Structure 1
Amino acid sequence: MSASIMKIMATVLLAVAIVNASNVTPLSIKLSLTDTEGEMQVTWFTLDSPSSPCVQFDNKGFNPSDVTGNIITGSTVEFNEKLWSGYTSVATISPLASQQTYYYAVGNKETGVWSELYNFTTSTFPNTNSQVTPFSFVTYGDMGAVVDNSTVRNIVRSLDQFQFVLHVGDIAYADLQDGDEGKYGNQTVWNEFLEEITPISATIPYMTCPGNHDIFDGDNSNYQNTFMMPKGSDDGDWYSFDYNGVHFVGISSETDYSPSSDQITWLTNELQTYRKSNPDGWLIVFAHRPLYCTSTFGWCKSNDKDRMKFIASLEDLFYKYNVNFFIGGHSHEYERMLPVYKSQVYGSNANPQATVYVVIGTGGCQEGLNSGFQPQPVYSSGVRLLETGYAKVSFLDSDHMQWQFIQDQTDTVLDSVVIGRGQW
């Protein structure tokens, strides 16, 4: 064989190796909390199925290519819905120590293809929900894959202020196209959003709940294969987790929420069990759709039958089990309520005697903001804004939580309130 032919063959083999390596390059890396202390889950996307998906981690920095970190083998699920392809790998990093920074990289041990090195810091545990260790998280809904999203940019710049993200549904708006791409979801748009948030999601846990724009042709398996939340349900549509003495419960407004449904049965047991062991702990519930909102958007109108059913299934439970705070999106506005039950004010922000509700559908999606508000009801605090932005939620101590709405274009606080841990 001539030298020239051998050179060509070597070039071809190198090209094939490069292509194969690029097809298992980790993309859209995301951390998420589990329902077990001392764990952190990490997921990542690849075009091809990796032969040996795994994560390296250590409590000090390392070079991923040297493979000197602790190795944990992961598993892989395939995107096999219509028009979608690729694979999500998932691994759970453990055991982890409380309030410790860890470094990690994900990849494929056999091929030697690794992500860059990232790091995260664990929460405070053991967690008894009797004492809050101060922390902050960032929350928003209805974001979408928007070029140079100012909300994402501001959060990245302030990332060291936050311990995790709560994205309350309508993730990427991958269903706005015409034809099959709208019906089944545009994976390119979906992945573009995931790449945009990677500087956030690879550093702090990115917790979610499904919105109506995350379900394609009546199927939310692509959402479930992307965002692997703790398993309150088999598919993770509803779940709970603890962080530094606060209990969070995520539910799905896009799944059956009738009083006899599996979801409401689970939620009733979850709230009852928590309150039995933690009668005075903080309890936060989140979902995509809000119970209370006053914009001119259809869901928020008083004659919307679906919202009335949502309220009928949830509000009495929230009141019975002292749910302190509810976060929703769906309506593209910002709105904060006073403590409210049956459309009447109970207590005050300093001493709530019912659940405080907020709407944070302000992530800046392609659909834009709502057109206006209805006449202001008695339970509205007066703070109603048609602005894009996000909320910073800070637990100051065991009795006080600060809520701030930050407008994203100017990074300015437009609403701020301290809310007490009411008991009723």
Structure 2
Amino acid sequence: MKLLTLLFSAGALVAGAAAGAVHVPGTKPDNVNEPLQFRLAYAGTTGMSVTWNTWSKVDRPTVYYGENVWDLSSTAEGSSTTFNASTTYNNHVKVTGLKPNTKYYYTVTNQNCYNCSETPAYSFTTAREPGDYTPYTIAVAIDLGLMGRDGLSAYTPDDALMPNETNTIQSLDRYIDGYDFIWQPGDIAYADYWLKEQVQKYRRWVPIEEGWTAYELLTNEFFEEMSPITARKPWMVGPGNHEANCDGSGVTDADTNQTWTYDICAPGQRNFTNYRHRFNMPAEESGGVENFWYSWDHGMVHYIELNTETDIGDGFIGPDEPNGTYKLDSGPFGSYANQQVDWLRDDLAKVNRTKTPWIIVSGHRPFYASFDNNPNSICDECREVFEPLFIEYNVDLVFAGHIHMYNRNDPMNNNVSDPNGLNNPSSPWYILNGAAGHYDGLDVAQYPLRPYTRKNIDGVYGWSRVTIHNCTHMTHDFIASGNGSVLDTATLYKNHTCGIAATATSNSSSNYTGSTALPTTNAGGRLGQGAVVVAVVAAAVGSLMM
């Protein structure tokens, strides 16, 4: 029997909630102006997008902010919009002209007052400037869905969550002070499983014509569950197949042999509409397209989010079109064929590798995985289109999900493992981690494992912790959501050219083997400065889990 995991209450989250009111997550609050579902996103190094939802339109969505907790007299205004089949309004405000790597306190319209004696509910910290070589850590959680009541709970067939264990949302909340932001490249909320849950008799039956209300309920529940985290940490996202439509890519009732597809979806619940409205990623700042492909800098790393669902190659298609098992019936979102690839090439070419020596890319679908259950799971088309550019521009690390397990794979080039392993490879390192958790539970790896898979974990919910130690060493850890333990760790060494400011802490061991152990000596047998930094930082980060 697993732990029923719905422990977050949006009523407790919002400082302006009516006294004594009990708000059921996902449902309409007594105060329709109550701000709910907060989420942040970087808008360059001097900006932050602040988004929240209300059950009524806000005339002038406003963020009140400042560096001083007692003075929130600076303001920024945005827009309040909705769409067909949405029960709420998305209020987007972009706060600009901020200082890099600076903590700001903020409140929003209808929440608290500004420049008064109340302590504001939230704060955020802007991105680090390129060239800032301060070590830091990020969290990556892919394929993360609703927890409890109407999502992953004691009633699902998967038993990977045991009594007294925490789920991934709770784990991310517990360790929130240990990372700078959350990255979720696809499959967000799994609200499209409303019909599958009904067919499996997990939820009460809602008539198909009213299914849009069930989809909205699950969506609102999930965003309220995430809000205690995403009101304080930027939440960078990408599109997955479960953002496309309302039907979970097709549902069949085994008892009646009836099948439903995307044609049951309301107009506002097709073609990524919900995803397009709910988030505000930095496409404008990076020349990308909406929330589909974009990039941002944060200290030593240039991050890139790609769209593996549509707009791939020269045919405006994705891996499910035109002959895939599941039809997304979505896109294209670019204005011409190959726009995403052209943008990626241009974006990679612009990266100053002295200021941002690392490049980390993510897209929802994996190029490599020890999994054969579904021919659409491994995106060979994505690899053929994107990987040549990864090789050309020396991308360091590539994240993916879609398959609900963990594979730490080799650095790869066109299905061939890099002979250097993690010791200064010339190919990108590939991590598959779709184990964050949702209603369907986890997948099982196919054995024997692919030759390039160095570690497989397919029975534990978890998330990735990436620590950027300096310009030459980066560590990836798989964190078990249930108890915070580290189940897998490996460190990548790349012989990047470090900036002047980083030289004192980034001289690296040229004989580092790339094993899961941290480097200990340089070529001369003495402890290298880079190794000292790596060991100290790793110890400090590891203590967060104690």
CA distance in 2, matches of 1:136, 1:47: 35
TM-score with structure 1 length normalisation? 0.85
RMSD of equivalent CA atoms: 2.7
Q: Encode CA deviations 1:120-151: one digit per residue, 9 max, x unaligned.
A: 223332x24xx532110100111111128611
CA distance in 1, matches of 2:441, 2:145: 11
The Cα of 1:340 is off from its aligned counterpart by 0.9
| 1:79 match | 82
The Cα of 1:342 is off from its aligned counterpart by 1.6
| 1:332 match | 404
> Tell me, which stretches of 5 or more residues in structure 1 are unaligned?
1-18, 63-67
Paired residues of 2:369 and 2:450 also in contact (CA < 8 A): no
Paired residues of 2:45 and 2:128 also in contact (CA < 8 A): no
CA distance in 1, matches of 2:271, 2:429: 32
Amino acid at match of 1:59: E
Amino acid at match of 1:164: F
Amino acid at match of 1:296: D
Asked whether 1:173 is paired with 2:245, we answer no
Q: 1:156 is matched with which residue: 173, 177, 180?
A: 173
Asked whether 1:57 is paired with 2:65, we answer yes
1:56-205 equivalences in 2 (<5 Å): 56-62=64-70, 69-81=72-84, 83-108=85-110, 117-125=121-129, 127-128=130-131, 132-147=133-148, 150-178=167-195, 179=208, 186-205=215-234
| 2:436 match | 363
Asked whether 1:284 is paired with 2:288, we answer no
Query: How many matched pairs?
Result: 390
The Cα of 1:389 is off from its aligned counterpart by 0.6
What fraction of aligned residue pairs are identical, expressed as a percent?
A: 28
Q: Encode CA deviations 1:252-284: one digit per residue, 9 max, x unaligned.
A: 111221155211121121112226x65982111
CA distance in 2, matches of 1:296, 1:199: 37
CA distance in 1, matches of 2:213, 2:242: 11
Q: Encode CA deviations 1:30-49: one digit per residue, 9 max, x unaligned.
A: 11001x32111100101111
| 1:26 match | 35
The Cα of 1:24 is off from its aligned counterpart by 1.5
Amino acid at match of 1:28: Q
The Cα of 1:60 is off from its aligned counterpart by 2.1
CA distance in 1, matches of 2:438, 2:403: 11
Asked whether 1:207 is paired with 2:236, we answer yes
CA distance in 2, matches of 1:184, 1:344: 47
Q: Which has the higher strand share?
A: 1
| 2:343 match | 266
TM-score with structure 2 length normalisation? 0.67
**How has the CA–CA distance of structure 1 residues 115 and 254 changed in structure 2, closer, same or farther, with 3 Å as cutoff?**
farther
**How has the CA–CA distance of structure 1 residues 327 and 111 changed in structure 2, closer, same or farther, with 3 Å as cutoff?**
same
Q: Encode CA deviations 1:351-409: one digit per residue, 9 max, x unaligned.
A: 22201001110111111111332422221113443321101110011111110001111
SS in 2 for 1:318: helix
Amino acid at match of 2:188: I
| 2:50 match | 42
SS in 2 for 1:22: coil
**How has the CA–CA distance of structure 1 residues 110 and 162 changed in structure 2, closer, same or farther, with 3 Å as cutoff?**
closer
**How has the CA–CA distance of structure 1 residues 213 and 181 changed in structure 2, closer, same or farther, with 3 Å as cutoff?**
farther
Q: 2:290 is matched with which residue: 223, 230, 235?
A: 235
Paired residues of 2:189 and 2:222 also in contact (CA < 8 A): yes
SS in 2 for 1:44: strand
Paired residues of 1:53 and 1:108 also in contact (CA < 8 A): no
**How has the CA–CA distance of structure 1 residues 151 and 262 changed in structure 2, closer, same or farther, with 3 Å as cutoff?**
same
CA distance in 2, matches of 1:416, 1:200: 25
**How has the CA–CA distance of structure 1 residues 297 and 183 changed in structure 2, closer, same or farther, with 3 Å as cutoff?**
farther
> Tell me, which stretches of 5 or more residues in structure 2 are unaligned?
1-27, 154-165, 196-207, 246-261, 263-269, 315-336, 498-546
| 1:309 match | 381
